[in-house]
Amino acid sequence: MNRATLQLDVVDFVDGASAPDYRLLKPSVIPQWLATAGIAAALVAAVYCGWVNRSLPDFAAWSATLWLLLALLSSVLISPRVYTPGFLISLLAYLIAWRVSAMNDAHVLMWTATIGFIPMVLQFIDCVVGDWRRNRTRSGAWLGTLLWQSTIVRMVFGLNELGHATEKLFAGQDSFHHLVKGFQGFGLTQSAALFVVMAGLTELASAISVGLGFLTRGGALLSIGYFLVATVGFGGEWGRGYAWATAGGGGWEYVMLLLAVFGSLLLTGAGKFSIDGWLLQRGLLPKWLVPLATNAQGAR
What size, in residues, is the chain?
Answer: 300
Pick the more confident residue, 233 or 159: 159
Write down the pLDDT at residue 5. 41
Q: With b meaning 16 or more CB within 10 Å and e meaning fewer, what string describes 203-233?
A: bbbbbbbbbbbbbbbbbbbbbbebbeebbee
pLDDT at 108 over 90: yes
What stretches of the chain adopt beta strand conformation (E)?
Answer: none
SS3 234: helix
Task: Measure CA of the first residue to CA of the last residue in the chain; give whole Å.
Answer: 26
Structure confidence at residue 205 as a pLDDT band (50, 70, 90): very high
The answer for 271, left when phi > 0, alpha when psi is -120 to 50, beta otherwise, is left
pLDDT at 102 over 90: yes
What stretches of 151-245 adopt beta strand conformation (E)?
Answer: none
In the chain, domain spans? 18-299
CA distance 11 to 3: 12
CB 193 within 8 A of CB 69: no
CA distance 14 to 140: 8
Q: Amino acid letter at 29?
A: V
pLDDT at 11 over 80: no
CB 151 within 8 A of CB 276: no
CA distance 146 to 134: 15
pLDDT in tens, 56-101: 999 999 999 999 999 999 999 999 999 999 999 999 999 999 999 9
Write down the pLDDT at residue 142. 82
What average pLDDT does this structure show over 159-174? 95
CA distance 254 to 257: 5
pLDDT in tens, 42-60: 999 999 999 999 999 999 9
* Phi, psi angles (nearest 5°) of residue 245: -105, 100
